[in-house]
Amino acid sequence: MGEFGSRVPKNALWAHAVSVGEVQPALSLIEAAKDESALPCVLSTVTATGRTMAEKFSSMQKISSRADRMIYNPWDVPRFVKRALDALEPAAYVTVETERWPAILAELHARGIPAFLLNGRLSEKNVRSLMSQRWFWRGVLCCFTRLMVRFESDREKFLRLGVPEEKIVVTGDCKIDAMLKRKAEADPAKWTCLRRGAPLFIAGSTHKGEDEVVLDGFAKVRRVHPGARLIITPRRHERAASVVEAALPYGRVGLFSGMTPDWDIMVVDKIGVLFELYAAADAAFIGGSLVPRGGQNPMEPAMFEIQVTHGPHMDDFPDAGRMDELGAALVVRDADELADAWLRAAAPQEKERTRQASREYFTSVGGAVQRSWDIISPYVRQRRKS
């Protein structure tokens, strides 16, 4: 039976998170479910990094709020899906953001097990791709009992694919609740030693083609602040060696895993540390946005009330536009604009303006996890009674 052994709780809430980015909202939902009842919960992931992150986050939670079991998601092939569902017999299935596996959704629907999409999102690129087989994907998506999406723009995309209006609910972004909880548990003082009395900048989750822009921008900043430091965290930590090589002409370079005091540029080669590192920075650049990769989450650094910059490609995070309007984030298009933004970020008046803008943004959002659980819980109770 592999991981689907006798210790897997029956009639549980099964939450699925493909990797690191989806683990936070999945665990937040599990916590909401367990706060209300003693509901057993199973968390599945696909990637090894997702599993590692889930174990790390779970260890930080109170025991009563953790998943009762962590498993790897079965291959989306009917015989494996049926075997998993026979073992689990879940009360409900919840998958996060962009996960839509046809075989498992079809089997859940056939068995009458309610299925939910949590924090659902679609990029314009996703929609264009799916529209070529709209008839097929409409059938897959209609297997969901409810699709709980982040924003109105996400709702409109699912409607274009033919999902009935009554199946879609706009609940907000669950990652905000998860991040607020992580911030409350974080220790910002842990990394303040990295500053050494000079400005510190972070480029988070960078993709290939962005590191050189960041490094050029940092070089311009150092002409004004010679002691400034830069931390680069590649989106994929296996890129760390190539980022180090690119950074060598710009100053003394160190690796996070072998941290030494004498560095100008540090390349992070470890997962799970970026969030807390933002707390020590003066400003952060969000990767995946100067190249057309949809962007990464701008809310993580903004939560620490520091200046946030990103490129023009933020399709996966449509609320970045509202952050820009409030002044909680800023668009940059090249090294010169990034350098200008980072130079301003070091000024006291800019720090206060950013702090106020970030607070205004976060007071206007939040609560999506509880709204989502309020939708799911009646189906779970009904299923567990039957």
Give residue 371's pLDDT. Answer: 95
Contact 144, 109 (CB under 8 A): no
Q: How far is CA 219 from the centre of its chain?
A: 30
pLDDT tens-place string over residues 54-102 = 787 776 665 556 888 999 999 999 999 999 999 999 999 999 998 889 9
Contact 121, 295 (CB under 8 A): no
Give residue 50's pLDDT. Answer: 82
Query: What b-and-e string marks burial along 73-106, b requiring 16 or more CB atoms within 10 Å of the CB?
Result: bbebeeeebbebbebbebbbbbbbbbbbbbbbbb
Q: What percent of the chain has pLDDT above 90?
A: 69
Q: What's the CA gap between 373 and 371, in Å, rounded?
A: 6
Distances from the Cα of 248 to the Cα of 70, 115, 211, 285, angstroms: 41, 50, 12, 20
Please state, rounded to an integer, the average pLDDT across all residues of the chain: 91
Residue 5's pLDDT band, with cuts at 50, 70 and 90, is: very low
Domains and their CATH numbers in the chain: 13-172+367-385 (3.40.50.11720), 189-363 (3.40.50.2000)
User: Is 0.85 topped by the overall pTM?
Assistant: no
Q: Which residues, listed in sequence order, are joined to residue 117 by a DSSP beta bridge?
A: 95, 147
Q: Residue 272: is its pLDDT beyond 90?
A: no
Least confident of 10-14, 138-142, 353-357, 363-367: 363-367
Give residue 259's pLDDT. Answer: 77
Q: What's the CA gap between 29 and 3, in Å, rounded?
A: 22
pLDDT tens-place string over residues 91-121 = 999 999 988 899 999 999 999 999 999 999 9
Residue 2's pLDDT band, with cuts at 50, 70 and 90, is: very low
Q: Residue 4: is its pLDDT beyond 70?
A: no
Give the residue from 385, 372, 384 showing the smallest Cα distance to 170: 372
pLDDT tens-place string over residues 235-248 = 998 999 999 999 99
Q: Residue 321: is its pLDDT beyond 60?
A: yes
Which position has the higher pLDDT, 36 or 116? 116
pLDDT tens-place string over residues 163-218 = 999 999 999 999 888 788 778 877 777 888 888 889 999 999 999 999 999 999 99
Which position has the higher pLDDT, 264 or 260? 264
366: tokens are 């939040």
pLDDT tens-place string over residues 224-234 = 999 999 999 99
Give residue 157's pLDDT. Answer: 95
